[in-house]
């Protein structure tokens, strides 16, 4: 060896392993028994992960985003990448998960066993103690920490490698910006790396979600496979849509499995399930052979060609590894549940966790269709009865120093019909009583909202013989149904008694949300109940109806919320009270539900 060669030999740094992460992992990473496929890491089982590993290893890529179905290996990527980083390209690592619980569980059952069984890492691990706890390891020049997603854990040292888990969750929406800001020093010198791994979000289109923003800022690689018949490439997706949004292919089954009542015969769905090519309609079996062929031909196809090169995003659905019959069964059961109960929760879960597609929450606002009702406020201003009148009510929404009032009458001769006779603001208690008398509303048919100053409401009820009403959100009260003798849930309570200066006054608890639903259907002209308004209806009434809309507060749970805070909504409240009174009095039918539903 020449002198120069000797000198160079001395100066040569130990060379890091530059083979792909998954090649390195095949030799060094052994998955613990907590994984469905324990043993030496085998990238062939999950070929859709390979481009993701490549992106994590690419020095020009700053952020990798994986939107994935459950159980396709999103977390596995981080479990394999971290030991590789520790050995081959070290720097401070922070992995942020949803909760403290998740952090503990993942560290104990997955990541720590992997690190201990990975020989090159185990040689570097300090002894358990102050340098090494369940969730923090100090390697000397750098560290590895696992932490929950909250602001206090995201505001300390600079991080080079950042893993962010399930960032679609509400708790992440505020934390995400802080979490990624921690890599900024390494980002400036082009050495940082962020790995976001998450299911698709449940979100409303206006507010958005950090998961969706991160995914869409990348190239949106869609895992796609070849059709064995026409050889064209199509997404490996449960439902493949064409440009018009119609379903053109994907997991399919016998359409005759749909019954007349819109539910699916699940057994028939399962026995006829197959995969349909969106290009040539070729049918492929639900088999391991099909999934193996998909693994051989699979690749990511970019949907967002304009994305910057340093952000890579990928999407993989459950159908790549989960049998189609299980997916079809779950989907059909979710549809049946929706048809039978109106609850979308299982369908939302399927969309976000199996299809890895976002669920967009639609805001429901009341659309008002004013038709020619053929009467004005003057028509009934002297207390005249409406055609076939069955009963009339007055609903009062109490404010600090005034009231909002609605007077209306119901008829049932040609199906349930409501006619609003008067709506407006009243300034004094005397005027309130005068209005009632002018419209000849019986005392027991006047109800005042008891949510505000109940003692004053009780005083009015004691003096005038009115009723109180205390509204709640989504709530039911279990009572015995007089018709059937069964215990059933009603959207209102039995009459309750309040003592006012030695006299009894009556009030009801009631579900505001339920009756606002009934009201919005009636106003939109859907359902049996006809909702008439005078042709000179108080424009404030229409304004008030728009003062709230329905929003999904958590999966499958809808509530009426103010559009903007303090928007007036008194018309919505008085009309909902009208409907509640008419329902309690039996003029509007309520189809009882058993308490188990
Ligand atoms: Zn085809």
| Ligand 1 center–CA 284 separation, angstroms | 10
State CA 425 to chain mean position distance. 39
What is the mean predicted confidence (pLDDT) over 219-228? 98
Domain end position, chosen among 216, 242, 268: 216
What is the mean predicted confidence (pLDDT) over 571-581? 94
User: Is the pTM value of this prediction over 0.75?
Assistant: no
Count of domains forming the chain? 3
State CA 57 to chain mean position distance. 33
| Ligand 1 center–CA 313 separation, angstroms | 26
> Would you call 12 helix, strand, or coil by DSSP?
coil
| Ligand 1 center–CA 460 separation, angstroms | 74
| Ligand 1 center–CA 358 separation, angstroms | 27
| Ligand 1 center–CA 300 separation, angstroms | 18
| Ligand 1 center–CA 249 separation, angstroms | 10
What's the half-sphere exposure (Cβ side, CA atoms, 13 Å) at 17? 17
What is the mean predicted confidence (pLDDT) over 360-386? 81
Q: Are both 333 and 454 inside the same structural domain? A: no
pLDDT at position 597: 34
Q: Are both 453 and 524 inside the same structural domain? A: yes
What is the rounded CA–CA span in Å between residue 136 and residue 159?
Answer: 14
When the pLDDT of each residue in the chain is averaged and rounded to a whole number, the result is 90
Q: Are both 211 and 263 inside the same structural domain? A: no
The DSSP element (H or E) to which 203 belongs, if any, is: strand 202-204
Q: Are both 270 and 344 inside the same structural domain? A: yes
| Ligand 1 center–CA 335 separation, angstroms | 28
- What residues does the ion ligand 1 have nearby, CB within 5 Å? 227, 229-230, 277, 279-280, 282
- Dihedral sign from CA coordinates of 567, 570, 573, 575: negative
Higher local confidence (pLDDT), 474 or 219? 219
Give the Å distances, CA to CA, from 326 to 317, 344, 527.
14, 19, 36
**Residue 201 pLDDT > 50:** yes
Q: Are both 331 and 478 inside the same structural domain? A: no
| Ligand 1 center–CA 248 separation, angstroms | 11
**In this structure, is residue 423 part of a structural domain?**
yes
As given in the structure block, the two tokens for residue 267 are 């057994």
Q: Using 50, 70 and 90 to split pLDDT, how confident is the model at 563?
A: low
**In this structure, is residue 2 part of a structural domain?**
no
67, 199 contact by CB (below 8 A): yes
Higher local confidence (pLDDT), 567 or 409? 409
| Ligand 1 center–CA 359 separation, angstroms | 29
Q: Are both 468 and 514 inside the same structural domain? A: yes
Give the largest CA-CA distance in the chain: 117
Task: Kindly report, residue by residue over 123-147, the tens digit of the pLDDT.
Answer: 999 999 999 999 999 998 899 999 9
What is the rounded CA–CA span in Å between residue 531 and residue 522?
Answer: 6
What is the mean predicted confidence (pLDDT) over 352-375? 79
**Residue 11 pLDDT > 70:** no
| Ligand 1 center–CA 226 separation, angstroms | 8
What is the rounded CA–CA span in Å between residue 398 and residue 405?
Answer: 9
| Ligand 1 center–CA 233 separation, angstroms | 8
For 7, other C-beta atoms within 10 Å of its C-beta total 11
CATH number of the domain where residue 200 is located? 3.40.50.300
Q: What percent of the chain has pLDDT over 90?
A: 69
| Ligand 1 center–CA 280 separation, angstroms | 4
Which single residue is written with the structure tokens 């390195």?
24
pLDDT at position 339: 80
DSSP string, 402-433: -EEEEEEEEE-BTB-EEEEEEEEEE-SHHHHH
| Ligand 1 center–CA 221 separation, angstroms | 21
| Ligand 1 center–CA 236 separation, angstroms | 13
> Would you call 588 helix, strand, or coil by DSSP?
coil
**In this structure, is residue 529 part of a structural domain?**
yes
**In this structure, is residue 383 part of a structural domain?**
no
**In this structure, is residue 5 part of a structural domain?**
no
Ranges 93-102, 216-225, 524-533: which has the least confidence:
524-533
Q: Using 50, 70 and 90 to split pLDDT, how confident is the model at 596?
A: very low
Domain end position, chosen among 200, 216, 232: 216
Q: Using 50, 70 and 90 to split pLDDT, how confident is the model at 12?
A: low
| Ligand 1 center–CA 269 separation, angstroms | 22
Give the Å distances, CA to CA, from 475 to 85, 175, 355, 513, 548.
53, 33, 32, 8, 18
| Ligand 1 center–CA 146 separation, angstroms | 45
pLDDT at position 500: 83
* ∠ Cα 484 489 495 (to 5°): 90
What is the mean predicted confidence (pLDDT) over 522-545? 87
**Residue 70 pLDDT > 70:** yes
**In this structure, is residue 10 part of a structural domain?**
no
Which single residue is written with the structure tokens 């995400």?
176
Q: Are both 122 and 87 inside the same structural domain? A: yes
Residue of 410, 53, 65 lying closest to 216 (CA atoms): 65
What is the mean predicted confidence (pLDDT) over 43-63? 96
**Residue 14 pLDDT > 70:** no
Q: What is the 3-state secondary structure (H, E, C) of 322-334?
A: CCHHHHHHHHHHH
Q: What percent of the chain has pLDDT over 70?
A: 92
Q: Using 50, 70 and 90 to split pLDDT, how confident is the model at 399?
A: confident
> Would you call 472 helix, strand, or coil by DSSP?
strand
| Ligand 1 center–CA 348 separation, angstroms | 29
Task: Kindly report, residue by residue over 417-441, the tens digit of the pLDDT.
Answer: 999 999 999 999 999 999 999 999 9
Domain enclosing residue 131, as ranges: 17-216
How would you classify residue 502: left for phi > 0, otherwise alpha for psi between -120 and 50, otherwise beta?
left
**In this structure, is residue 396 part of a structural domain?**
yes
Ranges 275-289, 467-481, 562-576: which has the least confidence:
562-576
**Residue 463 pLDDT > 80:** yes
How would you classify residue 356: left for phi > 0, otherwise alpha for psi between -120 and 50, otherwise beta?
left
Task: Kindly report, residue by residue over 230-272, the tens digit of the pLDDT.
Answer: 999 999 999 999 888 888 999 999 999 999 888 899 999 999 9
35, 76 contact by CB (below 8 A): yes
542, burial (CB in 10 Å: exposed 0-12, middle 13-18, buried 19+): middle
| Ligand 1 center–CA 50 separation, angstroms | 25
Q: Are both 108 and 176 inside the same structural domain? A: yes
**In this structure, is residue 290 part of a structural domain?**
yes
What is the mean predicted confidence (pLDDT) over 212-231? 98
What is the mean predicted confidence (pLDDT) over 286-300? 97
Q: Using 50, 70 and 90 to split pLDDT, how confident is the model at 28?
A: very high
pLDDT at position 595: 46
| Ligand 1 center–CA 243 separation, angstroms | 17
| Ligand 1 center–CA 254 separation, angstroms | 19
| Ligand 1 center–CA 352 separation, angstroms | 27
| Ligand 1 center–CA 295 separation, angstroms | 17
Q: Are both 259 and 134 inside the same structural domain? A: no
| Ligand 1 center–CA 327 separation, angstroms | 21
> Would you call 531 helix, strand, or coil by DSSP?
strand
| Ligand 1 center–CA 113 separation, angstroms | 44
> Would you call 515 helix, strand, or coil by DSSP?
helix
Q: Using 50, 70 and 90 to split pLDDT, how confident is the model at 369?
A: low
State CA 16 to chain mean position distance. 44
| Ligand 1 center–CA 234 separation, angstroms | 8
| Ligand 1 center–CA 283 separation, angstroms | 8
| Ligand 1 center–CA 383 separation, angstroms | 72
Ranges 81-95, 200-214, 365-379: which has the least confidence:
365-379
| Ligand 1 center–CA 282 separation, angstroms | 5
pLDDT at position 10: 65
What is the mean predicted confidence (pLDDT) over 203-216? 90
| Ligand 1 center–CA 230 separation, angstroms | 4
pLDDT at position 567: 62
Q: Using 50, 70 and 90 to split pLDDT, how confident is the model at 1?
A: low
| Ligand 1 center–CA 53 separation, angstroms | 30
User: What are the helix (H) ranges across 272-351?
Assistant: 288-297, 324-341, 345-349
**Residue 286 pLDDT > 90:** yes
Higher local confidence (pLDDT), 408 or 517? 408
Domain end position, chosen among 194, 216, 238: 216
**What are the residues whose beta carbons fall under 8 Å from the beta carbon of 218, sequence distance 6 or more?**
63, 64, 65, 304, 307, 311, 312, 313, 314
For residue 517, what is the DSSP state? H
As given in the structure block, the two tokens for residue 281 are 């309609």
Q: Are both 201 and 236 inside the same structural domain? A: no
CATH number of the domain where residue 515 is located? 3.30.420.240
The DSSP element (H or E) to which 503 belongs, if any, is: strand 503-511
| Ligand 1 center–CA 270 separation, angstroms | 22
Q: Are both 153 and 276 inside the same structural domain? A: no
| Ligand 1 center–CA 241 separation, angstroms | 14
Q: Are both 189 and 228 inside the same structural domain? A: no
């Amino acid at each position: 060896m020449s002198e120069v060669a000797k000198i160079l030999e001395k100066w040569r740094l130990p060379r890091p392993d530059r083979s792909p992460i998954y090649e390195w992992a095949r030799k060094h990473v052994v998955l613990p028994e907590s994984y469905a496929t324990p043993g030496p890491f085998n990238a062939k089982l999950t070929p859709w992960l390979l481009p993701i590993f490549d992106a994590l290893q690419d020095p020009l890529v700053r952020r990798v985003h994986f939107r994935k179905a459950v159980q396709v290996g999103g977390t596995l990527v981080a479990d394999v990448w971290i030991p590789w980083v520790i050995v081959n390209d070290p720097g401070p690592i922070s992995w942020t998960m949803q909760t403290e619980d998740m952090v503990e569980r993942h560290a104990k059952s997955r990541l720590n066993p992997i690190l201990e069984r990975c020989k090159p890492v185990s040689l570097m691990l300090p002894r358990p103690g102050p340098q090494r706890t369940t969730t923090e390891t100090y390697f000397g020049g750098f560290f590895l920490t696992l932490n929950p997603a909250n602001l206090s854990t995201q505001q300390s040292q600079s991080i080079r490698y950042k893993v962010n888990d399930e960032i679609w969750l509400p708790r992440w929406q505020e934390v995400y910006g802080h979490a990624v800001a921690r890599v900024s020093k390494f980002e400036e010198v082009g050495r940082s790396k962020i790995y976001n791994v998450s299911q698709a979000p449940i979100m409303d289109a206006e507010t958005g979600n950090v998961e969706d923003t991160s995914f869409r800022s990348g190239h949106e690689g869609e895992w796609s496979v070849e059709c064995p018949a026409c050889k064209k490439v199509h997404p490996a997706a449960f439902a493949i849509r064409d440009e018009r949004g119609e379903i053109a292919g994907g997991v399919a089954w016998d359409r005759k499995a749909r019954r007349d009542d819109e539910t699916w015969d699940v057994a028939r769905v399962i026995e006829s399930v197959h995969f349909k090519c969106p290009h040539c309609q070729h049918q492929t079996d639900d088999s391991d052979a099909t999934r193996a062929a998909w693994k051989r031909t699979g690749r990511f196809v970019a949907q967002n060609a304009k994305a910057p090169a340093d952000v890579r995003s990928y999407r993989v659905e459950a159908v790549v590894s989960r049998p189609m019959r299980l997916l079809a069964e779950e989907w059909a059961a979710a549809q049946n549940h929706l048809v039978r109960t109106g609850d979308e929760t299982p369908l939302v879960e399927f969309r976000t966790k199996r299809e890895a597609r976002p669920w967009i929450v639609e805001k429901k606002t009341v659309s008002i269709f004013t038709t020619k009702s053929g009467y004005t406020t003057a028509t009934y201003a002297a207390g005249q009865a409406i055609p076939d009148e069955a009963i009339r009510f007055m609903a009062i929404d109490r404010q600090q120093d005034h009231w909002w009032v609605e007077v209306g009458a119901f008829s049932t001769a040609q199906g349930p019909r409501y006619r609003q006779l008067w709506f407006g603001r009243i300034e004094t208690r005397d005027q309130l009583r005068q209005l009632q008398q002018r419209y000849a509303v019986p005392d027991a048919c006047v109800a005042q909202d008891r949510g505000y100053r109940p003692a004053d409401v009780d005083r009015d009820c004691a003096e005038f013989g009115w009723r109180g009403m205390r509204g709640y959100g989504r709530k039911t009260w279990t009572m015995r149904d007089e018709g059937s003798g069964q215990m059933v849930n009603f959207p209102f309570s039995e009459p309750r008694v309040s003592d006012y200066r030695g006299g009894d006054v009556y009030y009801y608890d009631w579900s505001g949300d339920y009756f606002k639903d009934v009201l919005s259907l009636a106003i939109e002209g859907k359902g049996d109940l006809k909702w008439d308004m005078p042709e000179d209806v108080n424009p404030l009434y229409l304004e008030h109806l728009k003062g709230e809309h329905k929003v999904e507060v958590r999966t499958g749970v809808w509530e009426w919320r103010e559009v903007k805070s303090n928007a007036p909504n008194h018309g919505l409240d008085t009309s909902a009270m009208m409907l509640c009174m008419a329902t309690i009095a039996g003029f509007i039918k309520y189809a009882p539900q058993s308490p188990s539903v």
